[in-house]
Structure 1
């Protein structure tokens, strides 16, 4: 018995030693939890200058859209024969998109912030607030009574959850930039890197927050006030804080949030045309393994605009014009519930969880309009509209910050002024030869007309002729408005030529989706139209998107048996 017990103990001791050696070898190979595979250092410690890795979180109001391949363009019969949406195979990266269109309430929050920070009573800032105001006169009709909407649609609480209209493409872009800064400002405050309530109590025209300025020169945010822009987390609510023997918080020293921290979100922006169409079509609801079960006509399954489900059979799935003088149907059970726009989320979401991707209002996208989509050059994240810029560096070698004296305004063709830069932002200039020299992927800042609108594409270009070196006429013979003002300051001088053959130019932007004014034909996500970027209507709104960084999918893929 004693011999057996001794052998058993020897065997157990051998197993313990073997396990210890094995665990030591594992530790030596991985260098412990949070260690770098490159150096073996523990990079998650704040002293190392890095932060923990993690997945991107969705910003307020956004829904995750997993990217993939799809057929962009018209897959049904092209009854218009305009050939501007021929089908092409495209791939879209994963991104986030607003669950609903931007509402009046959301836009009023923007206007209220502008009014408080840049008081229109001050001459320097008068045009900022006025330039952001939606055009409420878009509701007027020569032979229709619409003063009720003109006076109430934007501001009356009854319309708070309705999509904002009367916003041009430029205004939609500026709203997106503003939203980026306000969301990231709140994230910094929540995590103890900004003084609490500074975003409302301490913000002024000269001292405000801009995301890119914070990343590049955090000490310049809020005018460089160190009592507002904090170096490290403070307060007992902050995660990871340490306290001394006296119970007081000991904040880390000389630490600002960096891009590598992953705390702040990428920019809110208008979706590209390809992103919008992909999100609207939501073909994931039509898939069988890795192929589509036919193509959708609308953002929902089926060929009809009414629901076929048992509980909601006969209900309209979108808000659109059903016929001449028929904007909603007969009052009661069978109508679509709206005569103009409708509250968001009144109709079922598509398979991505997005509402009103057909009907209600059409929506601005980021792209400059061209009759064709050049998939032969690029079929990945297609977008026409790139204008590359870089930070403007001053004589002192530092990034130049915009002040109230250096703000820039755009004068639109209708005479309206819109602010394009704000105090606190980093001034931007087009990229130059330092960035483009010997590059293969791009060679200039402005790429709006790449492979389109160049000399070789122009009808005046003569191959092999000495005249080919001369600058030809513009490929798109669109109106060219030259703003003039009379003695009373009234705008005048718009193009009245009857020789113009097109409205397409570099300021024509794509808008997608049908609206309350459109027939069912325009509800197809593939349909595309264009409108001047500085003009607004009563049927075009917008929603924001955000790029996804990191993994394509939020969930791990599992094999189907």
Structure 2
């Protein structure tokens, strides 16, 4: 009897797997198509077969304010003669993965929205959160200039709503990107019916929405009104509701500052030199990277606009300082129509559709500055500034939130990294920075102006000469400092096909028929 039972179990399992395989190919015995595993044959999203949840394959959609930048290889570094004698941007060929970047610089009204939310969330319990996020309007002051109107009005008057925010430190820009990630993902969950809009008015202190806290199950939100299909999708095998997981494809990757390599690649916009890239290969990119265009607008190196179709935006293709004492030209013939930063969508965008990658304001990027860093760094997704972290767990191995609702993180220790093949330290900001043999450490204001808080600044500004408008040029500033010439824009990782949502990854070939 026992033998018969075992045999029945084997046969039953075989029938069940056959049904699963049939269901993938043609509907199975019950005529209902279910997607199943190509490895085991078990159905996905089927409570009767374990309930393993698999979201339907989908492309990453473009987040608010972003444009898609198709990655590739390019020569990162100097285009013009190194007249500053810095020797800090030696050309080097690297590859950048596809990513997203803001269409324009973060504007005053964007940043004021951020401050408004901080006041609503933390104003009573943690007023310093709001105060620490305020841009420094005193960056407009000068000992020998009358700029007090800009101190008073530039950030808050509606006439400057669409002008780039300035007076923001690297740390403030990074915090803004984190806040923006949370607001975007929260709305996506509300649109999917997984969170209730009523939560917006109830958030405060440690119960504010944070993407990582939500995914860790620590955000105490009210479920929204899901559709019938959504309720089925977001149910556990026992029928109880569950929250969204990142694997569901609803939430987006985090907004962040772009890396230096990403920013420079996006600014050059080489995709415009490949004719009709979505329809045919055209020229091969390997030859194009040696064309070495000087500015972000392409082959027009003079920077003068073709005014045969109108000169409503002035003669220049960017907002910069033409020479000593000339920030905008003469009355009746303003050359760039701006004496200070211009609105964030002024002038023509480059071929990626990105505005003001040369001129207007310089921009923070994510990298820690080193003079010869590109020689030492990887040639794929080059970046200096890694300080690896992992999720903090208490003595009971539980995740925790901090007082502002964010998931607690901790630094990865050297002991945890010692036996790894790809890295042996948690903090690798100083890795191969040129002083490994001498054991000399950077000391800001003591041996050098460079230290681990020195961050790269890219692009020229409204108060810079044309030399700084070239995307390959680079400067640096301490991450806790600000000026009236530096703003920022955000970026986001791209997942899936590097060619965009119309394409699949890799070379796709038709399956060959085998001879019998």
Aligned to 2:266: 279
Aligned to 2:191: 190
Residues 1:537 and 2:483 aligned together: yes
Aligned to 1:437: 418
Shift in Å, 1:377: 4.8
- Cα displacement string for residues 429-469 of structure 1 (whole angstroms, at most 9, x for unaligned residues): 111256413111111111110012654144xxxxxxxxxxx
TM-score when normalising by structure 1: 0.77
Shift in Å, 1:44: 5.2
1:43, 1:51 within 8 Å by CA — same for their partners in 2?
Answer: no
Which segment is superposed worse, 436-445 or 107-116?
A: 436-445
1:298 to 262, 271, 295: 295
TM-score when normalising by structure 2: 0.84
Counterparts of 1:531 and 1:548 in 2: how far apart (Å)?
Answer: 28
Aligned to 2:54: 50
Shift in Å, 1:139: 0.2
Aligned to 2:225: 234
Counterparts of 2:382 and 2:137 in 1: how far apart (Å)?
Answer: 34
Mapping of residues 49-198 of structure 1, within 5 Å: 49-119=53-123, 122=124, 124-198=125-199
Aligned to 1:5: none
Aligned to 2:461: 515
1:511, 1:529 within 8 Å by CA — same for their partners in 2?
Answer: yes
Q: Mark the runs of 5 or more structure 2 residues left unpaired by the alignment.
A: 1-20, 233-237, 275-282, 508-516
Aligned to 1:369: 369
- Cα displacement string for residues 362-400 of structure 1 (whole angstroms, at most 9, x for unaligned residues): 000000000013445510000000001111111222012
3-state DSSP of counterpart to 1:206: helix
1:508, 1:530 within 8 Å by CA — same for their partners in 2?
Answer: yes
1:45, 1:51 within 8 Å by CA — same for their partners in 2?
Answer: no
1:390, 1:431 within 8 Å by CA — same for their partners in 2?
Answer: yes
3-state DSSP of counterpart to 1:171: helix
Shift in Å, 1:92: 0.3
2:284 to 285, 289, 292: 289
2:407 to 426, 434, 438: 426
3-state DSSP of counterpart to 1:127: helix
3-state DSSP of counterpart to 2:481: coil
Residues 1:547 and 2:513 aligned together: no
- Length, aligned pairs only: 461
Shift in Å, 1:307: 1.7
Counterparts of 1:386 and 1:86 in 2: how far apart (Å)?
Answer: 22
Counterparts of 2:425 and 2:369 in 1: how far apart (Å)?
Answer: 20
1:90, 1:375 within 8 Å by CA — same for their partners in 2?
Answer: no
Which segment is superposed worse, 47-56 or 533-542?
A: 47-56
CA shift in 2, pair 1:271/1:25, >3 Å: closer
Residues 1:448 and 2:429 aligned together: yes
Counterparts of 1:333 and 1:167 in 2: how far apart (Å)?
Answer: 32
Q: Mark the runs of 5 or more structure 1 residues left unpaired by the alignment.
A: 1-22, 243-250, 404-422, 459-472, 480-499
Counterparts of 1:477 and 1:431 in 2: how far apart (Å)?
Answer: 24
1:281, 1:299 within 8 Å by CA — same for their partners in 2?
Answer: yes
Counterparts of 1:274 and 1:542 in 2: how far apart (Å)?
Answer: 15
- Cα displacement string for residues 280-311 of structure 1 (whole angstroms, at most 9, x for unaligned residues): 01111234333217221100122111123742
Residues 1:204 and 2:204 aligned together: yes
CA shift in 2, pair 1:553/1:309, >3 Å: farther
Counterparts of 2:74 and 2:418 in 1: how far apart (Å)?
Answer: 35
Counterparts of 1:252 and 1:76 in 2: how far apart (Å)?
Answer: 64
Counterparts of 2:391 and 2:406 in 1: how far apart (Å)?
Answer: 10
Counterparts of 1:45 and 1:208 in 2: how far apart (Å)?
Answer: 34
